[in-house]
Amino acid sequence: MAAIQVGLTGNIGSGKTTAGRLFETIGVPVYYADDHAKRLLNEPDVASHIRTLFGDECIGANGLPDRKALAKKVFANTRLLQKLNELIHPLVRVDFQRWAAYQTDHPYVIMEAAILFETKRAKQFYKNILVTAPEELRIQRVCARDGVAARDVRKRMQHQIPEEKKVQMADFVINNDGKEPLIPQVESIHQRISALINKSV
């Protein structure tokens, strides 16, 4: 029997990957969409499309897409970002379904992805979990992690639905403000999702 699919999302710098790792420690398989998108980006036919759509300046000396150059270009242009999403997201969707089909020993699996609500993909999941954090803290985290300026982080944030709206759309919320412990929140949500699945079986 195929595992039930749950979405895990959060705006940039919220710590959704950290939350995903905690779900993994309690035995829930997690598919990290961004990691798999990077892998798929290096497929020869995809790299060829990147060159055609975004130009030679987005291809590195190794012939593979230069992710930093690509990010700089698309986050400054909404139309180009949409083109990139239209190229990558269908590939990730197929890859995730293929991966999920093998997780038959688990009641549910999680897909961790940044823009589930923006792409309307949240509707495909049994439940959706949102990770939140104060905006300034999120900016600090991304600046430290990626070595980018705060203004560049704010540009990326403009392409995401505001966190307060996502809170209303999510089934469960994890507060990652650096003060409230994450582990009890993850364990509580895991128990609640497991109980809902057991009821529906």
pLDDT in tens, 63-110: 889 988 998 888 888 899 889 989 999 999 999 999 999 999 999 999
Buried b or exposed e, range 113-129, using 16+ CB within 10 angstroms? bbbbbbeebbeebebbb
Which two tokens mark 39? 């892998």
- The model's pLDDT over 114-168, given as tens digits with 9 standing for 90+, comes to 999 998 999 999 999 999 999 999 999 999 998 989 998 998 898 899 999 999 9
pLDDT at 30 over 70: yes
pLDDT at 2 over 70: no
Collapsing DSSP to helix, strand or coil, 109 comes out as: strand
CB atoms within 10 A of CB 64: 15
Residue 1: band (very low, low, confident or very high) from pLDDT cuts 50, 70, 90: low
| pLDDT reported for residue 42 | 87
Residue 14: band (very low, low, confident or very high) from pLDDT cuts 50, 70, 90: very high
Residue-averaged pLDDT of the chain: 93
Q: Tell me, which fold does domain 1-29+107-201 have in CATH? A: Rossmann fold (3.40.50)
Residue 7: φ, ψ to 5°: -95, 140
Q: Would the CATH topology of 1-29+107-201 be identical to that of 34-102? A: yes
Q: Which residue ranges make up each domain of the chain?
A: 1-29+107-201, 34-102
Burial of 190 (0-12, 13-18, 19+ CB in 10 A): buried
Which two tokens mark 125? 């999941």
CA distance 49 to 17: 28
- Beta strand pairing call for 30-32 and 4-9: unpaired
Q: Could you tell me the pTM of the whole model?
A: 0.90
- The model's pLDDT over 45-75, given as tens digits with 9 standing for 90+, comes to 888 899 999 999 999 988 889 988 998 888 8
Total length of the chain = 201
CA angle 195, 32, 174 (to 5 degrees): 50
Is 34-102 in CATH node 3.40.1190.20? Answer: no
CA distance 99 to 191: 24
